[in-house]
Each structure stands twice: as structure tokens, then as C-alpha cells.
Amino acid sequence: MSQDTEHKSPFGPGFIAACIVVGAVLICGLLILVAGSGSSGKATASTQQPAADSASASAVTQPAAGEPSAVASPSGEPAGAGAAGQAGGSCGLPAGDQAIPAQAPAVDSWEVSRRIVVPRSSSFGPRITDADGFRRCFAHSPTGAVYAAYSAIAAIADQTKAIPTAKKLMVPGSATDSLIKELSTQEASSDDSGIQPIGYRVVDADRQRVTVMLAFPVESVYMSATLTLVWYQDDWRVQPPTPGDAVGAPFAQHRDLADFVKWSGI
């Protein structure tokens, strides 16, 4: 079946195309929560890394497996060991090491959050879990952003909390307002089945923005979704999609996890 096949849908042709490419309805349960109306970019049936976010202040060259990589700061200087332990982290957490986590980070524990197994660390967060289960307060570092991305997927998976999740998770602005307005017109679904992230790839990073590609198993292949996290009011928030696009785009199909750091509690 061609990846260019499109269907009329209130969730947009890009959203439907992503579901077609991976050939599984399961991933749709994750994306239906945050898909707007209109058209969006098609999913890509390849293992290629998506283009880095053009708004990022600097791109990160992916290190070889097992080798750390320094992140370029907005000033252009490496923010590696010299930035470790600096203040400015979320909710009292130190910013910590600014290297890209090229190997699976250590965790204190893996926990179930809204039916998704997510990591917790006293160093990277989350430091606070709200009464509704929303996890927040992560370290101001690429590793903290990866932790935040896993928790973001868990938050998205619970469709019964769509609007509260959007308000807490997304960077405020007109795009988030548009998303919340769209969600308010949709009937809340009680289907809270989620899909487990089992690996990540940091595509692009600087001190204020980190783009993370997350991999999910779907039947005999893998699908990836891409989240851009922005440092906003002392925590990582997800950059909302352009109205008409789905959170997680661009999506891609992968034969294996060779391009990802395998990281999962299951």
C-alpha cells in the first residue's frame, strides 16, 4: 500500500498516512489525542533522520555509539563538563551534564504512568507528579529532555485528559490555543491504550530546545514520532504542532533500532 494514500478525516491526511505506513491501529490511539484538522506532512517509510528543526540555535552532530557529544550553547561554545552542576534546573534540579545521552541513561526506577512505563531519576526528573498523574520538573539538559519526552508520551496516551494535558504539556501560544479549541470539539475517548517507547534518538539540541525521535514497536517494524521540547518557565514543554498537523510528525517507519539508543523498562 502506498504511503501517499490519503483519506478524508477530521484528524488530517498526514495522521491517517502515518497509520497506514506502520500498518497498525495501535499507534493511532496515541496520536488521535493530539491530531488537529486539516492537512499535515506524510509519514516517511524510511530509516532516515528527519530534518533538524530550523528554529534550533545549533545542530548537534550525532556521536558514535558510546561516545559523548557536547551540545553547542547559544554563544557557540561547547556546554559540556563546564556546564555540569550549574544552577538553573527545573524545580531545584541542577542542570547537570549537557552532553547528548549517547548511551541509555541510568534510572532510579521505571514506573507506570497512564499505562506507559516511564523512567524516573533523582537527577533528571520528574521531581513532581501532579494529582492527575501528570509528571513535570525535569533537568535543564538533553538527558532531562529525553526523560520529559517519555513522560510526554505517557501523558498523551490518556485521551480522557486531553485538554488538561495540552494545557500543561504544550508551550502556550496561538498554536496551543488552536489545539485546545480543536480538542474541545471532539468527544473524549475512554480508550487509554498506549504504545510503549523503546528507544530514542536526539536529533538536534541546544540549551533551549531539544528535538527527540522516539521509537515504538508496531507489529514487525518500528515507527518513530518526533517531539521538539522547549525550555519554558523552568521546565521542558512540547512545541505544539502547526494547526492542522499532528503532534509527533514527521513519522517514519524503521526496519530496526540501529539508529536509536535502546531504552525501556519492559
Average pLDDT estimate for 198-204? 97
Q: What's the pLDDT at 133?
A: 92
Q: What pLDDT shows up at residue 190?
A: 57
Indicate the SS3 state at residue 111.
Answer: strand
| Residue 162 burial by Cβ neighbours in a 10 Å radius (0-12, 13-18, 19+) | buried
Asked whether residue 3 is domain-assigned, the answer is no
- Give the number of domains in the chain: 1
Look at residue 174 and tell me whether its pLDDT is greater than 60: yes
Give yes or no for residue 171 having a pLDDT over 90.
Answer: yes
- The average confidence (pLDDT) of the chain is 73
Residue 5 inside a domain? The answer is no
In a domain, 13, yes or no: no
Q: Does residue 53 belong to any structural domain of this protein? A: no
Give the domain range for residue 232: 58-243
Instruction: Assess if residue 165 is contained within a domain.
Output: yes
Would 158 be classed as within a structural domain? yes
**Assigned domain for 31 exists:** no
Query: What is residue 98's predicted lDDT score, i.e. its pLDDT?
Result: 96
pLDDT higher than 70, residue 189: no
pLDDT (average), residues 239-258? 89
Q: Which residue has the higher pLDDT, 32 or 120?
A: 120
Q: Which three cell numbers stand for residue 225?
A: 514520532
pLDDT at 83: 34
35-44: pLDDT as tens digits: 433 333 334 4
Q: Could you tell me where the DSSP H helices lie in the chain?
A: 13-22, 26-31, 142-157, 162-169, 174-184
Model confidence band, residue 144 (pLDDT cutoffs 50, 70, 90): very high
* CB-CB contact of 60 with 72 (8 Å): yes
174 in any annotated domain: yes
pLDDT tens, position by position, 63-99: 333 333 333 333 333 333 333 333 445 588 999 999 9
pLDDT greater than 70 at residue 222? yes
